[in-house]
Amino acid sequence: MLFEFTNVSKNYGIHKIFRNLNFSLERATFSILTGPSGSGKTTLFRMLCGLERPSEGEIVFLGKRLTEHSAAHLKQIGLVFQNPRGLLDWTVYKNIEVPLLIDGVGEAERSKRVNHWLDVLGLRHRANSLYGELSGGEVQKAEFARAVIRKPRLILADEPTAHLDAIQSDVVLDALWELYQDGATVFISTHHPPTFDHPKIDRYHIAGQSVRTMNGQSNRNDDVLRSPYEVNHVEVSH
Amino acid sequence: MLKFLIKEAALLTAFVLMGGLLLLCYWSSFNLNQGLASEFKNPKVSVVLKGEDQSELRRFLDNNSEVISYDVFNSNDNKEKLAELYPEMRNVIEPLDLKFFPISAVIVVKDAGSFLKGIGAIESIVAKQILHEPPHKLIQFLNGLTAVLLSLWLLTLGLVLYFNIERIMVEESARWSLMKMLGAKPLKLFMPLLGSQILRVGLAAALSALSAYFISHQIQSVISWSWVSLPSSVWFAYFAASLAIASLIAAVLFRHRFGKVAFG
């Protein structure tokens, strides 16, 4: 088990995002969470990183109760946010290299890994460009490269293809699939379900009035996600 | 930004001034205490005699167990002393008859209270006795002033660091936020920040010590007294304390501000 939410509730003032959420993910799985904007996908991710504390319940990550984020915990998670977090006055290369600098990785290894991802994502010609000079799609790919360059155990990607065209989306999704094949757990949230499909992909859906799992063998068989509203049905499908 | 920089420069100047004043005040206090320590190692009593006979006084002092040492000054001695003290009055003092200058004695005693009680035995020959005490109020004032300057110095140091770290935080918040998200240890961000703070405070502390040293030398040349320079350990302690306190304040401020930086 990579992580497990047990009876987790999350409120913002009187606004309830989740109530008694029970949810878990096994290691080395590829999961897609879909749902409309404002349904709580990002909150779920933020709680998983320790950026948000649940109002009630507990979250266990790799066997340890998660009370708040710690450096060690965060290093195991590759985060791809909807909005870019990179520094505009740094080059693409430097922005992607940062996690390795934090980890104290040697220059040769850093260069090898950064160049690998620049090649995979077609950003090599932009390596020395400032972040502020990139297009939206290029920024998103650079953000993705920075998130995965450490080879994290869990990749949380919040709308990783929102600013990409179909071809570029496929490049990113292929890269995620490769990482999954190498043993990483991939968890994507999106309001546009990816076009590609595979029997090994677990799909979850959060909606305003209902929450359902569309393929939930790896999860507990009770409500996988519970919205502030009653769960109307749990649907399993391939 | 310019407003921030002007504020920081003003505070840094204030810190240099406060440091300089603190050291000067401590130096004055130190000198006063040193001077008084040698002057008032034991209580001193001055005695003025009614008549011209000093034998009874000498007999009393020789037999009193409280007396450590004494000096008797006859009328001529006192006349000379007065003329030396007021050289511009010498022409007036010289023609005066010796009867206007009584015999006196300065007596160093073990316990002033016991000695003054015992002096009642020669009451008939003593016109006046004076107990010399160290200027407690002046010492208290200087100690109080040192404490006030120390508090102001600490406050200035805190403000210097506060405004600087605030400005750095505004400039660096995006980077800190990214680093935080990527799991960087706060220490990695704090150490370069601390380095720059230590450098600034170290230079300011050195500058304030230098100005205090220079001003103290000027005072020594203007006011003739047996001045004593501050021991090198005091200068070193001032410098080390500046750096240590600056590190502590910077750590507390950084911890507070870094905790508030948005996560990613």
pLDDT number for residue A209: 36
Residues A84 and A181 in one domain: yes
Structural tokens at position B9: 């420069």
Edge-to-edge strand list for the sheet holding A30-34 = A77-80, A154-158, A185-190, A30-34, A201-206, A211-213
pLDDT, tens digit, for every residue of A73-83?
Answer: 788 889 888 78
Q: Are B189 and B253 within 8 A, CB to CB?
A: no
Question: In this structure, are A119 and A163 located in the same domain?
Answer: yes
In this prediction, the residues of chain A whose per-residue pLDDT falls under 50 are 208-211, 215-238
Q: Note down pLDDT in tens along chain B; length 264 residues.
A: 777 788 888 888 988 998 999 999 899 888 887 777 677 778 888 889 888 788 888 888 888 888 888 999 988 898 888 888 888 888 888 888 888 888 899 998 888 888 888 877 777 788 888 888 777 788 888 888 889 989 998 999 999 899 888 888 888 888 888 888 888 888 888 898 899 999 999 999 999 999 999 999 999 888 877 788 888 999 999 999 999 999 999 999 998 888 888 766
- Same-domain pairing of A41 and A104: no
Q: Please state, in angstroms and as integers, the Cα–Cα distance from residue B169 to each residue in A50, A92, B51, B58, B179, following that order.
A: 23, 23, 82, 78, 13
**Quick check: A72 contacting B, CB < 8 Å?**
yes
Q: What is the DSSP string of B59-103?
A: HHHHH-TTEEEEEEE-HHHHHHHHHHH-GGGHHHHTTS-GGGS--
φ/ψ (deg, to 5) at A140: -65, -40
B2 to chain A, any CB pair closer than 8 A? The answer is: no
CA atoms of B161 and B15, how far apart (whole Å) = 11
How far is CA A106 from each of CA A110, B17, B96, B174, rounded to the nearest angstrom? 6, 47, 96, 25
* CB–CB contact B178 A86 (8 Å): yes
- Whether residues A185 and A101 share a domain: the answer is yes
Residue-level pLDDT at B174: 86
Q: What is the pTM of this model?
A: 0.68
What is the rounded CA–CA span in Å between residue A73 and residue A62? 9
Q: A68 at the B interface (CB within 8 A)?
A: no
A73 Cβ under 8 Å from any chain B Cβ: yes
Residues A107 and A172 occupy one common structural domain: yes
Q: Could you give the 3-state DSSP secondary structure of residue A204?
A: strand
Shortest distance, CA A59 to any CA of chain B (angstroms): 19
For residue A81, what pLDDT is reported? Answer: 82
A75 interfacial to chain B (CB closer than 8 Å) = yes
Domain identity same for A203 and A98: no
Q: What is the pLDDT of residue A194?
A: 61
| A81 plus A189 within the same structural domain | yes
Domain hosting A96: range is: 76-195
Give yes or no: residues A145 and A220 share one domain: no
Nearest CA in chain A to B180: A71
**For testing the chain A interface, which of B171, B179, B181, B187 should be mutated: the one with the most A CBs within 10 Å?**
B181
Domain of A92, CATH number, reads 3.40.50.300
Q: Are residues A95 and A188 in the same domain?
A: yes
Q: Write out residues 136-175 of A within 8 Å (CB-CB) of B.
A: 146
A161 in the same domain as A132: yes
Number of domains observed in the structure of chain A = 2
CB B75 within 8 A of CB B103: yes
- Distance between CA atoms of residues B149 and B27, nearest Å: 13
Query: Which residue in this structure is represented by tokens 């000079």?
Result: A133
Same-domain status, A151 and A238: no
Are A58 and A156 found together in one domain?
A: no
